[in-house]
Structures are given as structure tokens and as C-alpha cells.
Amino acid sequence: MEPDGTSLARTVSHHPTYPPPRPPNQDTVSRAAPQAPQNERSQSNISQISEALRDENFFNFTDGSFVWTFGDNYCGQVLNEGTEPVRQPVLLTKLRKQRILKVACGFETTWIIGDNGDVWAGGSNDSGQVTGLMDDEYDMAEQDEAMQPTEGPPTGENDNKRPRSAPTTSRGAPDSINHAKRLELRENQKVRTLQSGRDHTVAVLDSGVALSFGSNEFGQLGHGTPPSIQRCKAGVMRVSPGSKVQSVACGQGFTIVLMATGQLLSCGDGGQGCLGHGSLESRSALGPIPTLMGMPMNQVACGVNHCMALSITGEAYGWGKCRDGQLGLGDTVSDDKKLVPCRVPIERAKYVACGGAHSAIIARKGRLLMTGSNKYGQLGAPTGLVEDRREFAPVEALAEMKIRIAQLGLRHTLCITYMGTLLAFGCNQHGQLGIGSDEALVCQPTEITFKDVPHQRQFFFSLSSGQDHAIAVATSDPPLRVKKGSGTREIDEWLAKERSMIRTFSDYRNEKGLRLSDFPRYVSSDLSPMRKALRAFASSVESGTGVTAQELREVIDAHSLDIIPLKHQLHVILADVHTMNASFLVGVKRKLFDAEGLESAYRQLFALSQIADIIPELISHFEKCLMSVATYEKELRTSDQLRFIMESNPRERERERQNDRAIQKHAPCVMCVCARGCLQIILQCPLFSVPTSLTVPLMAKLAEVTFKLSQRGKETLVRMAKEDTTPEVFGGRLVAHVVAYLNHQIEHHTPHYRQLERIWHAVHLLQLLYLANWECAKERKVDENGASRDFRIPLQRFHLDGITRFIDVVSECKMFYELFRDPKHQDQEGHRLAWRPQQVLTVSQLNHSNTFFLAHHNLCPLPYKRKALRVEAGRYQEEYMVRSLIQMEIPYFVVTVQRDNLLNTALARIMSVAQGSPHEFIKPLKIKFENEEGVDEGGVLREFYRLITQEVLNPDFGMFVYNEQIRTIWFNRLSLDDNLSMFAFVGILLGLALYNNVLLELPFPLALYKLLQHEPIGLEDLADTFPDQAHSFQQILDHQPGEEFDAAFGELPFEVTFDYFGETKTVELTEGGSEKTLTYDNRQDYVELYTRYLLVDSVKEPIERFCKGFRGAAHSELITVVTPSELQLLMCGTPQLDFEELRKGARYDGGYTPDHPYINTFWQILMSFDQEHKRKFLIFCTGSDRAPLGGLEDLRLLIQRNGTEPTVRLPTAYTCYNALLLPEYADGDKLQKLLVQAIEQAEGFGLR
């Protein structure tokens, strides 16, 4: 630890800086934790491997270790049996032949740990912080009895009050020890790591138990007993039953514990906010840090009164005192302390350290960044130039060096380079820099030299700094073959290899509570595969607290017959939210979620014959995970905390980093940075495919957790779902599981569905997934054919069929009308505010406005919406019919027309009503042909619409233009002003058709229906109207910057030039557009403006007239619940493709004839296709799925022979010529198989 108690937490696991000791001998093995009987074979294999490694002699450690100490010595902490300051490092000859693994310093104490668990210590012992470890009074069985859950801080009234005396104390300990005193520990007690504060110490045993002793003035020992200023005996820190401690960090009067799962717990003095729980209260029992709940951490460090932590994805967080800028949060932070962790805007940090009033981060490539006070030059910069920093900045003097370890004292800094040299700078008043100089301040990093070194060069691998003293450990220059002049890469490879040999499965089992269940198969006479397995395994352990999908698959494969070990593995991985969030990641530099790997592991798991015995275990683990975060939903903001729902990638983290500075001005909380979350792991589980009595409560809890997330957490969740799940996992697992749950709940709780919160929580979760799908569609592009890309999954996948089957539409309509008439849900003109998917992010509570299904109309199937529209129309029509009967009026809106003058007579009648009595449109529409007998029961109305739409939509009429390539029509910008009333007439016609439930054949693109629904239009809509222009615009957007872009587009002004009846006209796209030219930076504006001009601005008046007429005639408040694509289906129905018409117009070549037997078989196959495959065939042959205005017969499809058997050639097509090149296969089965394959893979065939 650092002078003030800074921790080197998890140093062994994450920093390859430790010397490779010999493999454990028999004595060492005998002192390991006892193994269960089923592990006897594994234990035997460990011995075999250890012996093999010994024979390999990877590292010659016969010379032992070089342990050096220096600095202030008034408590004997330099361990040289004196009390005078030591300015030149002294060698502890007593430990010369010992193999030292790590060292640690408290404020005035020094600790040394050997490879076999031996411990030496010295320094101040006034509170028993040294000799307390030897106290034999504590009972290890007390661990199981005293461990308590850590869901929250203690609630006792006297928790923060100091009692008069401690319940138990150690007696007779000397006030100081000035030599390296060997501490006699119990036989089976082995210390793995240790940290010390001002007057307390915490030792972590190999078994994962944490023993704390010394002063308990503020409850920093975490025993759960009242605070005491007396010396306290060593006792077990109270953590959750079965949990294991990974490492600790100690500050002046507080302790931060890092669990093996990656969770952080804190206890002790909260006066400076160092406990991170949002208040200044102290506590004597370990409790979680709410803001970091669910986020697996990799390292934690404590200064005197501040802390820093590092997540598994390399994001740094700081909290506690920040008056001198030691948290590195920037100038915008005016507080002198932060009570909860705040993200530090540093990318992919590797290591954090804290000192008195300064902090350090080692970033990528060994860059040392520092912040805080520079009063004594401890930032490596002259004090006159830099007084202090409030943001992390590189140490310029070390710009050419790579730093592996940094240790910070009260006012000085020490560090080890990648080449194993030791550097120091800062205050040297007590010789704490070890440079042998009397200078009080040394602002320039200076290499420490050593006298009487028995070898020419030393390689330092471990370092720790106390308040004003330090200890460092070195070995002789590595004989490995890292010769003088070797680069840092060779050093890294050596350290990685040596450490992977040290960290055997015993280490892994003790630290993680796991074991490699198929370990015996790695034992082989060929040591190369063994070494490779060991190294890969150690690397996976050290990268985080979880496991990979590949490791889980291997475990499943190894225990397909014996599921007892498999259940144990699943318990360790899935029962804790932190472990789950750290699992199933891939990548070294950037941790990405392996959704496909997890899916594969799930499939393998559920294929086991004994899966029925495993399912209850899975349910239990998932429940425990969700319950552990149930009270912290609002704190789940980052994707590292949310991986158990979804996943994310580096692009999200980059966006969050860009927003951090602004956010920190307003919220002293964790910045949403490194993104991932474990709800994905739960929601992706195949258990939820079919709702059962086991999975329903679990899904309800999961939905509740997501509903209670903060807006920031929901935004993170949406981005994770959008960017890091495959469409198969997103639609087939996440969406499908929520939909299945909701349909089940609707079916079984229909009478009181509005009162069940679990239903609406799940609806909210489904809406978040819908938003992710919606956001994907916003980012789609236009392909080379001008066609726009679709949503990630079809919107129909979100529809709840249970609504149509079980929910009463009348009561839903009633709720909708009440909401519609609420002024809070209306715009200034009294119209209902348009629904947007983004609204789900701001929902924080359930109320009458969001607990009925028409409020979530995007989840309602189209048949249900059609039923709602018919109920609404029927209500209006019945109301006016009754009124008409009372007033002795005709209860229908009757339009009498002349068949030979259909357009003019219909226009006169309808427009006169529109201008005089538009309420007539509310009555049911009836058509009467003049001088013809017959009563309109629907057939006459349909005939009228068929005839009149053919006339008014005919491009020859001049109102619309027809695009033969995609067979759509659009408003003609060259239409005469005299036709404006005609556009209103067409709008009224279509509105009346919708109101009276008449289906039409309308070749309008989706863009028109977007305009009718007030939806924004974009480039993808241009592709459905003017595909050539859309493709050209997409090329502009995709073009690379540079001279080529300027040469190709640089002279294009922001204006449009076109011919208007022989006259050239120019229209500016924006004010001053003629003077503004296209550049790479403004290309997006250019495309958006030009697109809007083509679709809207150039035909603004016709569109406005059309839309106004349509909305007035449709007369529907519920029209807003349908999407543009659904409105298109409501008006046009599902396009029915008449392939008999296609056959009538077909042509043949190459030997085929209309009566050829093979051609007859071909048409029989086509006629058997469903509408979807018919549509795909039409796209394959012609490039469009729409019929021409004259029907499919007008396509004149050409079918040409393209070879005979033997052949495996697929059918191909020339879409420009409506030509199908069809090989003559041996039989109809082969023809059908290859034809379906061709149309399913249409993008790969034919000419586009």
C-alpha cells in the first residue's frame, strides 16, 4: 500500500511484475487448503505439473531476493534495527536467501510476504497493527457464523458512536518493531496479500478470508462490532456467506475490500466520503458501494482520504477528498469531496495509485499520468511551473519510458519501469526517495542507485511506499534470456510466461472459488500443450473475475455425464451479478460481449440429457443475482453494470466519454462509460422461450429491475441492445422471450390486466428493445439498387398476439379517448401529441396514461388496430345516423355520379360537401350511378373507387409522375396550379376509403403515409420514390474526404436547377445556397436539404392540400396509433399478386414454349408459392415487388432456356429486361429447390 494506505490490490493478478518462484514443494502443497475427495486426482496432477515445471527450470532463483528499504525510520519501519532516517537504500541481508513475492507498507509499517506464505513485518505497533496477526484467540469457524449479507450499511443507532472499550483486545504488544520480525502463523494459514493503513491492517488468506486487526476507532476492521480505540485482535471481516476476498486497500481510517467477484465493499471513517455510499457517515460493517453495484472491478487503491478503482474494462473511478484535484475530475468540480464514485475521463487505464494529495494512472503503453498537488514536486514537474493539477496529465520527463508500477507516498512518488529500474521524485525530507541526497525536493524523476550490489544489475518487480518510507524487491538481471538491450516486449513475454507458471490451479481455486474441471486432460508428456493451456487459463483468470464462453463450453463438455461439478461452476458464474458481468467477454484491449459464444454455450447446456436437474439451479442463481441489485436499480447507469441485461461496445464508451465533462457539472455520480450488463445473460437464456411457473416470477423481477433504471441506465441498455447483439439473438431470444412472457400474462390475467404492475414493467422492457430496433433503422443506408435497408428485425416481431385474442377493444378505446382529451397530451392546436419511441426513456412510474395497450400501440397487432378503428367509425356513424333520423335526414352520405362523367360529377358533389357541411363525411358512404338500378351494399362502392382511382392516379392526367423502375407514383412538381383543388379531392377520396373500410390499389410509396402521420422522411424514403438520386446521395455520404471528394463534388452549389416548360429555373436549398458549395463537412446537410426538396418542398402545396383533405375525411382520433407502414396496409391491404396475369403476358425463348411440359411444371411451382415467395420472385426477376399500373401481364416476363442437365447452375435474371434465365433441370423437385434458393439469395444473382 501507499503511505497513506494506498493499495496494490490484485497486483499479482494484473501486473506481470513478480518474480517467478520455484513451483511449490511438498511442504507448500501440504499447507494448501484441504481438497474435496473428488479433487484428489486433480491434486495429483498438480503435483505432476509442478514437478515438470521444476524440471524445465524456467527461472533460476537460487540467488534469492534483494529486499531494499529506505526513508523515515523513527518507528523502525526501515527494518534495519535503527531509528535514524535512511537516505540510501539498505539491503535486508536477513532475507537475502528468501524468495519474496510481494511487499506492502502502511503509514509507518512494513510487510514482506514470502512465496510459501511466510510473513515478516516491522514498524509502528502502537495499536497492534503488526503483531495482531499472531493473535491465536480468533476462531476460523467464526467466519461461517459471523458472515452477514452486505446489501446495505448497518442500521444500529450506535454504529457511529465510539464505545468506552472494545470487547476484546490484544495485550503486551510493543509500540514499535525495528527489524524484520517473522510472524508465527497457524500451520494451515497462508497470507496471499496484505495492506495496512495508519493504525490497522487487513490480511487476505489464501482461502479468501480477510483478517483485520489493530485500531477499530471508526469501524475500519469491518467486524460489525461497535468502534473502539483499543487494540483489537485479528478477526474475520464480515462478508456474505461463501464469498471470498480478492484484495484490500486501506486508507487513514477506512478499508475498501475487493471481492473475488469484483464487487467493492467499504467500512470505516466516512468523514471525507471515502466509503463511497453518498454520505459522511461512518460504518463498522462492510457494505456495498451503491454507485458501483454490479460493476466488476479489477483494482482498488486508497490514499490518505481518497480512493480510486479500476473496472475490468479499464475505466477509472475516484471518490473522497478532491480539494487538491487528486481525483482528476477537472476544473468543473468545485466540491472539496465526492461522496460517490465519479468516472475519470481516461481511456483504458491499466493501473491506479493514490497518495497523500495526488494520484497516478498507468495508461496504455506504460504512460504515467498524474494529478493533484505538486507542492513538493511529486507530479514530476517543477514546483514553480506546476503547483497542482486537476486533471490527469502525462509526466513529461517520463515520456520516453514505460512505467509498470507506480507507488505514491504522502508527498513523493516511486515507480518501476518496464526494464526493471527504480525511479523517484518529490519530497526527500526524510530520505524517502532513496537517492542518497540531502535535497529536500527532487522534481525530476531520478534513478535510485544501490551500493554494494553483488550483481551488476537488478531487476525490480515489487514496490510499496509508506508515508515517508518505501520497500522494493529485485532479482538479479533475468538469466532468461532477456539480455542487455532487450526490448520491453521480451520483458513482457518473460514475465507473462513465468507468472503463468506460478499461478497454478490452486491459486485460481483459492482466488475465484473455481477450478478447471477438465484439468487432467491438460496433463501430457508433451509439456508444450500443457504450458499453453496453463498460460491461457491464467490469462483468462487475470483479465477479470469471470469466465469466457469457450471455458464454459469446455466445462459443459467435460461434465456431460456428471453434472455435480457443472452445477458448482454455474453457481460461481451465475449467482453473483459482478461475476456475471465479468463473464463471456472477448478481446484483450477492448472487452466485448460474446453473445454468439453465450448462445452456443446455452445450446450445448440445454442439449444435455440431465438439463431438467440443472434448470432449478439456473433459476435459483438468476433470482439471487436479480435480488442483489433490486435495491440499486437507479445506480445501474453503465453497461459494465448492465451486462446482465445487455451488452455494448467501444463506440458507446467513446460517446459516453465525450459527454462526461458536461455531465460531471451536474451529477456527482458514476459517469456512464464502460458499457456492459448481465441482464443480457439472463434474458438470453432459453429457459424463457416457454413461460413456466419457474420462469414467470424471474421474468417479472427482471422487468421490474429494468423499469426502475435511471434514464441514463435505460439509454445505455438501448445502445447495448442496438450495437452488440446479433439479429438472431436480439429477435430470437431477447424480444421473443419478453413477448412470450407478456402473451402468457395477458392470457392468464385478462380481467385485471391493468392493475398488474409486472405486465407493464415487461411492456416497458419490450419498449426499450423496440427503441433499439428503431434506432437501428434510423442509421440504415441505401444500397446500390436504391433500396433502403430495413429494421434490424421486423416490427411485427414486437406484436403481442394476446392483445387481439383477449383484450376488449371497446374499453381500450375509452381509455384512449380520455387520454386524448387530456390537455397535457395535446399540442397547441389541440391535436394529440405524436408518439415517439424515445418516450420510454423518461417513464419512471406507472399511471393511467401508460397502463393500457393502445398507449403502447406499436405493440398492438394490426388486426387489433383495425378493429379499434372500426369500433371508432361505427360509434361516429351510429351517432350521426340517430341524429339524422331525429332530424328527418338521410342517414347516409350519398354520392350520385354519372358513369360517363365519373370524375367531374364525383368532384362536384364531394368538394361541395367539403366546403359546406363536412360533417356529412361522418355518415356511411353510399354510391349511386345515375340511371342505374342497384343498392350499394359495398360492391358499388368498391367499383366506384376502382374506376376513379384509375382515372385520377393515371400519370397522363398530370397530377402524379410514375417511376417505371420501382412502379410508384409521386406528386408532379410541374402540375398546374389549377389542379390544386384536385389534390384535396384525392385526399378526401382516400380518407373516405379508410373511414368506410374500402381497400384500394395505390402505388404510393411509404413516404406519403409518413407525411400523413407527421413522420420525418429521409434518404431511405427517397429510395422508394427516386432511387437513382438516392443512390447518388448515398455515394456522396460514403465518399472519403480529401482532394478526390473536392474534385468530384466541390463545385456543386446548394441549389436545384430544373426545366419548367422550356424555362430553366433555379431554387436555393437554403438561404444563400447559390453562394454555398458542397464540402465533406456539410455533405449531410446537402443530402438532407436536397431530399426534402425533392419529396416535400418542390410539391409543398399539392401535399398540403392532399393531407388536409385526407385527415378531414378520415375523421379519426385513433389514426395516430397506426404506423405509416400499417396505414399503408389498412388502405391497400396485403398486395395480392396474380400470377395468372403474369403467365398470360409471359414470353419464351431458347426452346421453351407456353405448352412445354417443363414450363407447365414451372408455373405449377410458382402458383404454389405463398405471397411472400411470390413477392421475392417478382423482385428477383424485375427488381420490384409491385405490379405495374396495368397489372402483372404488362411486365411481359421473358423466360429463356439457360442450359440443360447435368447442371447445378442456379436460375438468374436480368432485371432491366424482365428476363429469367432458367436451366432445364431433370425434374420438378430440383427445379423448385434451386429456384427457391435463387430467390432467397436474390442479391447474389442477376444484374441490378
The CATH number linked to 239 is 2.130.10.30
Q: Catalogue the long-range contacts made by 1065-1072 (C-beta closer than 8 Å, 24 or more residues apart).
A: 1067/1093, 1067/1098, 1069/1093
Average pLDDT over residues 250-276: 92
Rounded Cα–Cα distance for residues 3 and 104 (Å)? 10
Rounded Cα–Cα distance for residues 300 and 850 (Å)? 43
CA angle 1204, 1208, 1210 (to 5 degrees): 90
Rounded Cα–Cα distance for residues 85 and 487 (Å)? 37
Q: Report, in this order, helix, strand and coil percent for the chain, each rounded to 5.
A: 40, 20, 40
Over residues 858-902, the pLDDT tens digits come to: 999 998 998 999 998 888 888 888 888 888 888 888 899 998 899
Average pLDDT over residues 675-703: 82
* 1010 and 1043 assigned to the same domain: no
Residue 1239 included in any domain: yes
* 362 and 374 assigned to the same domain: yes
Asked whether the predicted pLDDT for residue 548 surpasses 80, the reply is: yes
Give the domain-ending residue among 371, 402, 433.
402
Over residues 500-534, the pLDDT tens digits come to: 333 333 333 334 333 333 333 222 233 333 233 33
* 1027 and 990 assigned to the same domain: no
Over residues 329-380, the pLDDT tens digits come to: 887 666 788 999 999 988 889 999 999 999 999 998 899 999 999 999 999 9
Q: How confident is the model at residue 655, as a pLDDT?
A: 42
Over residues 706-722, the pLDDT tens digits come to: 898 888 888 888 888 88
Question: What percentage of residues in the chain have a pLDDT greater than 90?
Answer: 33
- Could you say which DSSP state residue 699 is in? H
Q: Which of 841, 596, 575, 626 is nearest to 712 (CA)?
A: 841
Over residues 1046-1094, the pLDDT tens digits come to: 888 877 889 998 887 778 888 899 888 888 888 888 888 999 999 999 9
* 684 and 771 assigned to the same domain: yes
Angle between helices 40-56 and 505-512 (to 10 degrees): 130
What amino acid is encoded at 416 in this protein? Answer: I
Residue 576 included in any domain: yes
* 723 and 762 assigned to the same domain: yes
Average pLDDT over residues 83-94: 91
C-alpha cell at 835: 408518439
**What average pLDDT is seen over the chain?**
78
* Out of 129-143, 512-526, 538-552, 1143-1157, least confident range: 512-526
CB 720 within 8 A of CB 683: no
Cα distances from 187 to residues 137, 191, 697, in angstroms, run 15, 11, 48
Asked whether the predicted pLDDT for residue 1147 surpasses 50, the reply is: yes
Asked whether the predicted pLDDT for residue 605 surpasses 70, the reply is: yes
Asked whether the predicted pLDDT for residue 105 surpasses 80, the reply is: yes
Residue in the structure block whose three cell numbers are 485479528: 234
Over residues 471-506, the pLDDT tens digits come to: 999 887 654 434 444 455 555 554 544 443 333 333
Residue-range definition of the domain harbouring residue 1026? 1020-1095
Rounded Cα–Cα distance for residues 1241 and 419 (Å)? 57
Rounded Cα–Cα distance for residues 92 and 571 (Å)? 46
Q: How confident is the model at residue 351, as a pLDDT?
A: 93
C-alpha cell at 316: 477509472
Q: How confident is the model at residue 55, as a pLDDT?
A: 34
C-alpha cell at 817: 379517448
Q: Which of 1191, 1198, 1194, 1204 is nearest to 1231 (CA)?
A: 1204
C-alpha cell at 1237: 434458393
- The dihedral formed by the CA atoms of 350, 353, 358 and 361, expressed in degrees to the nearest 10: -10
* 1041 and 962 assigned to the same domain: no
Asked whether the predicted pLDDT for residue 1179 surpasses 60, the reply is: yes
Rounded Cα–Cα distance for residues 579 and 623 (Å)? 15
Residue 15 included in any domain: no
Dihedral (CA of 1073, 1075, 1078, 1082) sign: negative
Residue 194 included in any domain: yes
What amino acid is encoded at 1107 in this protein? Answer: C
- What confidence tier does 627 reach under pLDDT thresholds 50, 70, 90? confident
* Element containing residue 879 per DSSP (H, E): helix 862-886
Beta-carbon count within 10 A of 1185 CB? 18
Q: How confident is the model at residue 396, as a pLDDT?
A: 92
Asked whether the predicted pLDDT for residue 1183 surpasses 80, the reply is: no
pLDDT, greater one: 451 or 251: 251
* 236 and 360 assigned to the same domain: yes
Name the catalytic one among 75, 415, 813, 1216. Answer: 1216
* Out of 701-705, 933-937, 1063-1067, 1172-1176, least confident range: 933-937
Over residues 290-319, the pLDDT tens digits come to: 888 878 888 999 999 999 999 888 889 999
- The dihedral formed by the CA atoms of 28, 32, 36 and 39, expressed in degrees to the nearest 10: -50
Annotation says 1216 is catalytic: yes
* Element containing residue 253 per DSSP (H, E): none
Residue 667 included in any domain: yes
* Element containing residue 1203 per DSSP (H, E): strand 1198-1204
Rounded Cα–Cα distance for residues 661 and 346 (Å)? 12
* 1010 and 915 assigned to the same domain: yes
The CATH number linked to 904 is 3.90.1750.10
Asked whether the predicted pLDDT for residue 244 surpasses 80, the reply is: yes
Rounded Cα–Cα distance for residues 1222 and 229 (Å)? 93
List Cβ neighbours of 473 (8 Å cut-off, separation of 6 or more): 19, 65, 66, 67, 68, 100, 102, 103, 460, 461, 462, 463
What is the full DSSP assignment across 752-782? TGGG-HHHHHHHHHHHHHHHHHHHHHHT--B
3-state SS track over 76-119: CCCCECCCCCEEEEEECHHHCCCCEEEEEECCCEEEEEECCCCE
Rounded Cα–Cα distance for residues 1123 and 306 (Å)? 53
**Number of domains into which the chain is organized:** 6
* 860 and 893 assigned to the same domain: no
* 913 and 964 assigned to the same domain: yes
Residue 1180 included in any domain: yes
- Could you say which DSSP state residue 227 is in? P
Give the domain-ending residue among 368, 402, 436.
402
Q: How confident is the model at residue 865, as a pLDDT?
A: 92
Dihedral (CA of 129, 131, 135, 139) sign: positive
C-alpha cell at 562: 456428471
* 867 and 887 assigned to the same domain: no
The CATH number linked to 1082 is 3.30.2160.10
* Out of 292-296, 591-595, 728-732, 859-863, least confident range: 591-595
* 947 and 1058 assigned to the same domain: no
CB 249 within 8 A of CB 195: yes
Q: Which of 447, 353, 484 is nearest to 89 (CA)?
A: 447
Which residue blocks in 917-1017 are alpha helix, DSSP H?
939-952, 980-995, 1006-1012
Give the domain-ending residue among 402, 425, 444.
402
* Statement: the pTM of the whole predicted model exceeds 0.85: no
Rounded Cα–Cα distance for residues 115 and 31 (Å)? 12
Average pLDDT over residues 218-244: 87
Q: How confident is the model at residue 109, as a pLDDT?
A: 95
Q: How confident is the model at residue 412, as a pLDDT?
A: 96
CA angle 403, 592, 560 (to 5 degrees): 115
- What confidence tier does 776 reach under pLDDT thresholds 50, 70, 90? confident
Q: Catalogue the long-range contacts made by 551-560 (C-beta closer than 8 Å, 24 or more residues apart).
A: 552/583, 552/584, 552/601, 553/597, 553/600, 553/601, 553/604, 554/518, 555/517, 555/518, 556/601, 556/604, 556/605, 556/608, 557/518, 557/604, 558/517, 558/518, 558/521, 559/517, 559/518, 560/608
Residue 702 included in any domain: yes
Over residues 789-847, the pLDDT tens digits come to: 567 888 889 999 999 999 999 999 988 888 776 666 665 555 555 667 888 888 888 98
Residue 299 included in any domain: yes
Asked whether the predicted pLDDT for residue 1134 surpasses 60, the reply is: yes
Phi, psi of 394, deg, nearest 5 = -65, 150
